[in-house]
Structure 1
Amino acid sequence: MRSMPPMLRNVVIVGASAAGLATAEALRNKGYDGSLTLVGDEPYLPYDRPPLSKQVLSGAWQPERVRLRDDQAIGRLDADFQLGRHATGLDLVRRKVLLDAGDRLAYDALVIATGVTPRRLPGDDLAGVHVLRTLDDAVTLRSHLLARPKVVVVGAGFLGAEVAAVARTMGLEVTLVDPLPVPMRRQFGDRIGEFVGQLHSDHSVALRLGVGVARFLDSAGRVVAVELADGTKLDADLVVVAVGSTPATGWLADSGLPLGNGVECGARCQAAPGIYAAGDVASWHNPHFGVRMRVEHRLNATEQGMAVAAGILGEQRPFAPVPYFWSDQYDARIQAYGIFPDGADVTIVHGSPDDRSFVAAYGHEGKVVGVLGWNSHRELRKHRQLVVDHAPHPATRTPEGEQ
């Protein structure tokens, strides 16, 4: 059995999330046999979030299928799950987490895995306006979609594009709104964004791009329309607001921890002595790319949780992944490795967009920093090595935004 660091008998994980679960399991697998507490603000044991906007929303999966571990696996963790509880503060001096009922949890090591919260828009508290972050959100939204409403989705990033695709596949009338000129521009730039826009147009989604939302219009407290900044009014029985998220760090505001775009950590995901962050809430320096990043994607939650557990137990290895993420929309699976900076050079290195099967390489400062595959899983796996090796970007480049 691994020798435990001295005085490590009490680990508290705030966030009963995929990242929190991965940390807990890795600690046990590496021989930690001390006290282990996971605090979660939802009443559920850890579950998988990506299926919420896909399989759960479409009805392909029953909600219980998203649970990450069965009762036996949870029991083997020998952990205290405090569910439906909120962390309200952190006392760094006394090394205690403050909870909503006024009680305090002492820790030798603390892991912050609280994820993110959806950004809101003025007026989005009207009946008929939804956000999608939790299992309850997904179940409620699906029940309302079954009533066959006229749908407006505000925000054309990952979540908004996936929700629009599910709603349209259900045969609903859908309008997708975003202030940027193409969907998923923030994620992948103009060129791939144009392909995503064409995909939705091909499936009869009405696109209102390059214009923001001015306000929601209501009747008796229920949304009836979305007014755009150009004065256009879109009739709506149901609105989904998917305009991004913010790290869930409000409970840490007075803690003294470094907070920027998330809990700011070093290369080993450590924010302060004995304090680590993992998953969507963690901002850390990734030495592979030489940049600080915060990654809101599922695989990173597991990998970072495992890295944090190793750090707690004394390993000194930096966390330097090549991030992987994906999006399913209609018959398209969009997968990506790496990072996709603004202004990157984009070159198609395999296949053709005309065939809806291709791989694109993203270049930054002459090196390949990301690769994206559209219905090209096998070829994308091969091209991932370009990112791992910091390979020179192909000489024939297409500047971002040009065809």
Structure 2
Amino acid sequence: MSHIVIIGAGQAGAALAAKLRALGHAGPITMIGEESVPPYQRPPLSKKYLLGEMPLERLFLRPESFYAENGIELRLSDTAVAIDRADRKVIAGGAAIPYDQLALTTGAVARRLPGAIGGELAGVHVVRTLADVDTMAPDFAPGRRVLVLGGGYVGLEAAAVAAQRGMQVTLLQHSDRVLRRIACPETSAYFARLHRDHGVDLRENTQIAALRGGTWVEQADLSDGTSMEVDTVIVGIGVTPATSLAEAAGLAIENGIAVDEMGRTTDPRIWAAGDCTSFPFRGARIRLESVQNAIDQAEAVAANMLGSEAPYVPVPWFWSDQYDVKLQIAGLNTGYDRVVVRKGDRDLTVSHWYFRGANLLAVDAMNDPRAYMTAKRLIEAGRSPDPGMVVSGDLKSLMAA
């Protein structure tokens, strides 16, 4: 029977293994994970888990017993160090594990500050793994001074949790607005105002120059020439796809492990899914960092490993929770040339609709699930409402038009 090995025990790896069994694969499945715990959710780490509102067990995607009950060998605290493509073996934990097909779901790793800036000091944290959050949790105490680097979703969510814990929060954004790379100016302004209303000292066009201290971080020198005392630092400056293993094996790398529409790498026996991959989409090659993509792409790859030959065509969606605001995003706004603002009937309720010409590309919906669901259905159906109706029309009328 065909032996399938999965390297990476995160959201994509867990989804792929479960889907293989659900589709009837009867052969052995081995999943190799570097962490000591079974696959778990990452989004709650920097929110409910860090706030102490979610116990560890609720993070787990499935009970650990699920893997044994479904014949999935879960090798935790194990690291794959090499792929022998000629002999079809994975080298991990001092053992050579043979495979008939191999799936790479290695995810991404958080970018860290270079040592020259002071990134090696204690009290300087990234937010990616359970161990990262467990290490930083004791530093999240009322009154402590935290410096957050990066105005993307990770940085903003960390700042929101810190502010809710009663900490003194300063957030640095190196460009002129938060979320610049991924959102329109209207969405950026919404979240900048939200954070400032919660007491966050948000500084745009400002970078870290150096961190100083003995063994623990004590001071931050900023690019504007000022300095500030700090008790802890959160580094939220993005992630990079975990491609080193694939690259060493000679697989094609292009902003991630390059796969085709089916999820195959340049080796027909090796597949990849999740944050570590780049794949064809609308005439370009993209990489999506989201739970939705990790699950959907992994399940598509599982089916294709078993012979389905069905191209993966995502309809991207994302979310972020900050304070009492839930942001829901549908679609990809790449190439937009117009943003239409639809105001809701409550405070902090608004949606921003991205158009390219007459075509609806995406929506950012803040505390407006009805607008989000309407836009998502329109995008999935390939339909675009009249922008004027978005502003003033009833949501039902947008679907009916």
In structure 2, the CA distance between the partners of 1:61 and 1:361, relative to structure 1 (3 Å rule), is same
Q: Pairwise mapping of residues 181-260 of structure 1 onto structure 2 (< 5 A)?
A: 181-218=176-213, 220-260=214-254
Number of the residue aligned with 2:397 = none
Segments of 4+ moved more than 6 angstroms? none
| Post-superposition offset of 1:146 | 2.8
For residue 263 of structure 1, the aligned residue among 228, 240, 257 is: 257
In structure 2, the CA distance between the partners of 1:364 and 1:343, relative to structure 1 (3 Å rule), is closer
In structure 2, the CA distance between the partners of 1:258 and 1:365, relative to structure 1 (3 Å rule), is farther
| Post-superposition offset of 1:147 | 6.7
Q: Pairwise mapping of residues 4-403 of structure 1 onto structure 2 (< 5 A)?
A: 9-99=2-92, 101-122=93-114, 123-146=118-141, 148-218=143-213, 220-271=214-265, 272-286=267-281, 289-341=282-334, 344-349=337-342, 351=344, 355-364=347-356, 366-392=358-384, 394-395=386-387
Question: Which whole-Å CA distance do the structure 1 matches of 2:337 and 2:130 have between them?
Answer: 35
User: Matched residues, percent identical?
Assistant: 36
TM-score (norm 2): 0.92
| Post-superposition offset of 1:344 | 4.1
Secondary structure, counterpart of 2:37 in structure 1: coil
| Post-superposition offset of 1:148 | 4.3
Secondary structure, counterpart of 1:161 in structure 2: helix
Question: Which whole-Å CA distance do the structure 1 matches of 2:279 and 2:357 have between them?
Answer: 21
Question: Which whole-Å CA distance do the structure 1 matches of 2:343 and 2:99 have between them?
Answer: 51
Task: For structure 2, list consecutive stretches of 5 or more residues without a partner in the other structure.
Answer: 391-401
Question: Which whole-Å CA distance do the structure 1 matches of 2:40 and 2:364 have between them?
Answer: 27
Task: For structure 1, list consecutive stretches of 5 or more residues without a partner in the other structure.
Answer: 1-7, 399-403
Secondary structure, counterpart of 2:49 in structure 1: helix
**Conserved 8 A contact 1:56-1:139:** no
**Greater relative contact order, per chain length (Cα 8 Å cut-off, separation 6+):** 1
Question: Which whole-Å CA distance do the structure 2 matches of 1:291 and 1:365 have between them?
Answer: 19
Query: Which amino acid in structure 2 is aligned with residue 107 of structure 1?
Result: Y
- What is the CA deviation profile of residues 263-299 of structure 1, one whole-angstrom value per residue up to 9, with x for unaligned ones? 111111111302111111111113xx44322111112
Question: Which whole-Å CA distance do the structure 1 matches of 2:122 and 2:279 have between them?
Answer: 38
| Post-superposition offset of 1:221 | 2.0
Q: Number of residue pairs matched?
A: 386
- What is the CA deviation profile of residues 282-317 of structure 1, one whole-angstrom value per residue up to 9, with x for unaligned ones? 11113xx44322111112111111101000010111
| 249-258 vs 197-206, greater mean Cα deviation | 249-258
TM-score (norm 1): 0.91
Number of the residue aligned with 1:5 = none
Question: Which whole-Å CA distance do the structure 2 matches of 1:229 and 1:236 have between them?
Answer: 16
**Conserved 8 A contact 1:98-1:104:** yes
